[in-house]
Structure 1
Amino acid sequence: MGDYEALLEQYKRISYLRDANQVLSWDQEVMMPEGGTPARAKQRSAISATSHDLLTSEEFESALDAAEAEDLDAEQAAVVREIRREFDRAAKVPSDLVERISEETSNALPVWKEAKAESDWETFAPKVETLLELKREYANHIDPDADPYAVLFADYEPYLPLETAEAVLEELRDALVPLIEELKASDAALAAPFDGEFPEANQMALSKATLDYLGYPEEHGRIDVAPHPFSTGTQFDARVTTRFKEDDPVDAIGSTIHEFGHATYTLGLPKEAYGTPLGQHRGLTVHESQSRLWENHVGRSKAFWNGYLPLVAEHLDTGDMTPREAYEAANQLYPENRIRVEADELTYHMHIILRFEIERDLIAGDLAVEDVPEAWNAKMEEYLGVTPDSDAEGCLQDIHWAHGSFGYFPTYSLGSVLAAQLYAAASEEIENLEGKIENGEFDALHAWLTEEVHSHGTRYTTDELIEHATGESFTAKHFIDYAEAKFGDLYGL
């Protein structure tokens, strides 16, 4: 066995442990009884510490050094590049800190659920304070001279600098704020959302049918309910979750399609590379681009609803709703909406900007944890003109801080921007893509995304992958053009 192969064998053991930890996390959020938290926290922290110890061991470092000295081809060099980056960051972080972070996030999850149910930030605040301290310590170990938020952001998007995220958010804000104001001032009357009560059982049946309609392989996944929808898994087992509001089935439809986008990326990763960097996703900007592409460019398109509405009518009482009315209902602007995951396609980015700014201030120590509700409400009023009625629909609505995922939120907007860029490229290369979507034919789009994005794993850096797939560098132009054209048509601008 050569040095490169020996390195991969060691790395695969680490990957398998992490995947096992993912399953434990999925179980905790979906199926585990609440009383299981103390044991689950210990189990997950032990796995995190063990995988960290393996990654940072002298044996692993020696194998990595030896592999780097070999004459490697392009794919092998990319694998070693990714492993080296991962090792260099992990080696700087003590294993006991990794274990503490894992245990604290497991313990924080039920506290967040309780705090959200009681709409009481004070219940959750001590956990946030603890996780902030741990994540600052983590960032300081990796690079004591860097902006700690930039270090944390790089855990989710390793190859686009934080300055790029800031520039994109600023460009979106400058373009979308006046557009939203113009749309709000329009006298256009879009069709109202679905009217009535739609039982959860019917919506679950529709969600399963929707996944089948889009091409989700039942033998490689499953759908469950979670308070905050998510997707997780491997190219052999990519699971999705959704949630239901009995008076708004569009919410479940959107979250189901969104999580399908994540899952189809995971399932598109090369199976033969499982356990290696080439079998892993490129980062959360790319991952989010897949969910936003399917949710918005497909699932909120006129063509989609022309073909999809009959399937909805099989499971829900849609009355005499027309495809055009369903399309309008799926694209209503809700600037007064306080909930990010229920936000429309445009005001969604104001929610991201708000969270990004609060996170930066929290990590920097410029905002006290106890003052988060006040800061949150003030920014909601500034950016969206509304104030949450409670902490549950304000600063407690997202699960990310219970996971210690500080630095995650910018990837949502970066992913939306990339989704528009990828969809524009796909439209150029796939003949009559809109017609195929209208006919419920998604194989061509699946194949294009797999060929251009999924199948490469981490072979390319983010900017290289974007250039490969679209022929141009990362740009917000396509998203802004798409938003202005789509909503200008809807609202008769």
Structure 2
Amino acid sequence: MTAYDDLMAYDHDTQALAQIAGRLGWDQETVMPRGAAPQRAEEMAALESVLHARRTDPRVGDWLAALDGVSLDPVAAANVREITRSYERASKVPAKLAATLARVTSAAQGKWADARAGDDYAAFAPVLSEVIDLKREEGAALAAGGDVYDAMLADYEPGTTAADLQGMFGALRPALSELRTAILEQPKPQGVTGAFDEAAQLKLSALLAQTFGYNTDHGRIDKAVHPFSSGSGLDVRITTRTNLHDPFNCFYSTIHEVGHACYEQNIDTDYLLTPLGQGVSMGVHESQSRIYENQIGRSRAFTGWLFGQMRDAFGDFGIDSEEAFCAAVNRVSNGYIRTEADEVQYNLHVLLRFDLERALMAGDLQVGDLEAAWNDRFEADFGYKVDKASNGVLQDVHWSVGLFGYFPTYSLGNVYAGCLHDALRSAVPDLDAQLSVGDTSAATGWLQQNLQRHGGLYEPREVIERASGQVPGPEPLLAYLRAKFSDIYAL
């Protein structure tokens, strides 16, 4: 076992350095001076060079070879599985390419933000072309003759292919479109009215984070253009955003990111700074953020409690009953922004991106044609035209930082959440009674015990199957959405 001990001691430092890289990314999106972007790009490239060298160090290969065929306990076997996966992946990507990608994507993030602010896709297109060329090169190296997009997808959801997702999404899209059409034919629920003080929004947002179990002794809440969660173990940070006339944007962004953060905070501390000390995949991660935000946070029971908190914080805001408030929280209406979309339409936004990024990676769609392709697809799916680039192709940060293969994990996470919600309801039959008084502990405790504490111990599909008792598929999600929105809209 000396080889295993040496391997884990070495990997401990690699994991620590990766956390530092993540903290630099957090800083860049929150408090870094805008003028620091060129230097930050160099810093990120330098750190990525160090990480790449560590991940491809020949000693890692020697230690892994020494362990080949050795009988290991489940935790050790899982650590070796993850280190092997990292070693094999990093060994396929040239060090210079890894550093260049880190440098270019760090700079591209700032250029995306400027282009988004100016609604100017043409200003962003050149650096996006550079990112895509580099990602294609990386994907080809990783695929080694196989499917380039599948190789990218493996970074975020190991064991899943585009063909798997296409089958799953093929079942989702027509069902969601049909439900959307039926809902939009009904009278639209009343929304909130008035202006909502930012400080009061952030105060209630902090209460919601605490209500869902976020530990601020090991985390913090900041503001960002695009809400996100960062870190793992003892330092897990989230961001949110505010909108003067839409407090739900702040509240549900916070709950969503708390779902991510609690997953990381609740992993068994024995796994700290090991390959198992973080969420096993982005699909599983999204299952946590989406079940916190939607099945729990937008439930009729929990919105009844939140209605009282809103009245205490803001007084009269145009809604006078818990029933009307639940309908307002779950209001289905036209909109451009994925992160603000209701549960019925959210996955349609994701499927648009999934199809477009696959076409980009395959070379079937050129960067110069992307904005028009986006706008055409959006109009076909939603029935109205995109009005400006910040509401269309420039709304998400993901492509600027090279996250190709990431978008489909959002919908996969929704599918996983549907399966978990079924099991949660069976395990906690009085869940609504608890949520109606703002007590989420039974729900979050069940998720911690059955999924979150395992970190990377099990493969993604396996951890969902173990927790939910079923093979993941879209049926539970669709059944939940049909029941919920048929009730709200009297379908």
1:318 matched residue in structure 2? 316
Give the 5 Å matches for 1:55-454: 55-186=55-186, 188-190=187-189, 192-319=190-317, 321-334=320-333, 336-454=334-452
Q: Distance in 1 between matches of 2:36 and 2:67?
A: 42
Opposite residue 167 of structure 2, the aligned amino acid is: A
Q: Distance in 1 between matches of 2:416 and 2:356?
A: 24
* 1:91-148 deviation line (CA, Å, top 9, x unaligned): 1111111100001111011100100010000111111101111111101111232121
Q: What displacement does 1:390 show?
A: 0.8
Q: Distance in 1 between matches of 2:99 and 2:123?
A: 23
1:485 matched residue in structure 2? 483
Gaps of 5+ in 2: none
Q: Distance in 2 between matches of 1:75 and 1:261?
A: 25
Q: What displacement does 1:189 show?
A: 4.2
Q: Distance in 2 between matches of 1:91 and 1:108?
A: 25
Q: Distance in 1 between matches of 2:30 and 2:366?
A: 32
| Greater mean alpha carbon deviation, residues 193-202 or residues 90-99 | 193-202
Gaps of 5+ in 1: none
2:11 matched residue in structure 1? 11
Q: What displacement does 1:176 show?
A: 0.9
Q: Distance in 2 between matches of 1:391 and 1:470?
A: 40
Give the 5 Å matches for 1:32-71: 32-71=32-71
Opposite residue 324 of structure 1, the aligned amino acid is: E
Question: Contact 1:7 / 1:67 at 8 angstroms: preserved in 2?
Answer: no
* 1:67-107 deviation line (CA, Å, top 9, x unaligned): 33432112211211111111111111111111000011110
Q: What displacement does 1:209 show?
A: 1.6
Q: Distance in 2 between matches of 1:453 and 1:183?
A: 34
Q: Distance in 1 between matches of 2:125 and 2:182?
A: 38
Opposite residue 325 of structure 1, the aligned amino acid is: A
Indicate the SS of the match to 1:224.
Answer: strand
Distance 1:414 1:330, change over 3 A: same
Q: Distance in 1 between matches of 2:229 and 2:435?
A: 23
Q: What displacement does 1:350 show?
A: 1.1
Indicate the SS of the match to 1:415.
Answer: helix
Q: Distance in 1 between matches of 2:55 and 2:489?
A: 54
Structure 1 stretches (4+) deviating beyond 4 angstroms?
Answer: none
2:26 matched residue in structure 1? 26
| Greater mean alpha carbon deviation, residues 313-322 or residues 406-415 | 313-322
Question: Contact 1:193 / 1:248 at 8 angstroms: preserved in 2?
Answer: no
Opposite residue 320 of structure 2, the aligned amino acid is: M
Q: What displacement does 1:215 show?
A: 2.2
Q: Distance in 2 between matches of 1:221 and 1:321?
A: 35
| Greater mean alpha carbon deviation, residues 311-320 or residues 203-212 | 311-320
Question: Contact 1:160 / 1:462 at 8 angstroms: preserved in 2?
Answer: no
- Paired residue total: 490
* 1:319-372 deviation line (CA, Å, top 9, x unaligned): 4632111111011111x2111111111111111111111101111111110111
* 1:51-73 deviation line (CA, Å, top 9, x unaligned): 11011011121122223343211
| Greater mean alpha carbon deviation, residues 422-431 or residues 101-110 | 422-431
Q: What displacement does 1:411 show?
A: 0.4
Q: What displacement does 1:410 show?
A: 0.4
**Aligned-residue RMSD, C-alpha:** 1.2
Q: Distance in 2 between matches of 1:90 and 1:324?
A: 53
Question: Contact 1:338 / 1:386 at 8 angstroms: preserved in 2?
Answer: no
Q: TM-score, normalised by structure 2?
A: 0.98
Q: TM-score, normalised by structure 1?
A: 0.97
1:465 matched residue in structure 2? 463
Indicate the SS of the match to 1:277.
Answer: coil
Indicate the SS of the match to 2:395.
Answer: coil
Question: Contact 1:214 / 1:440 at 8 angstroms: preserved in 2?
Answer: no
Question: Contact 2:233 / 2:273 at 8 angstroms: preserved in 1?
Answer: no
* 1:448-470 deviation line (CA, Å, top 9, x unaligned): 11111111112211121122111
Q: What displacement does 1:180 show?
A: 1.1
Opposite residue 335 of structure 2, the aligned amino acid is: N
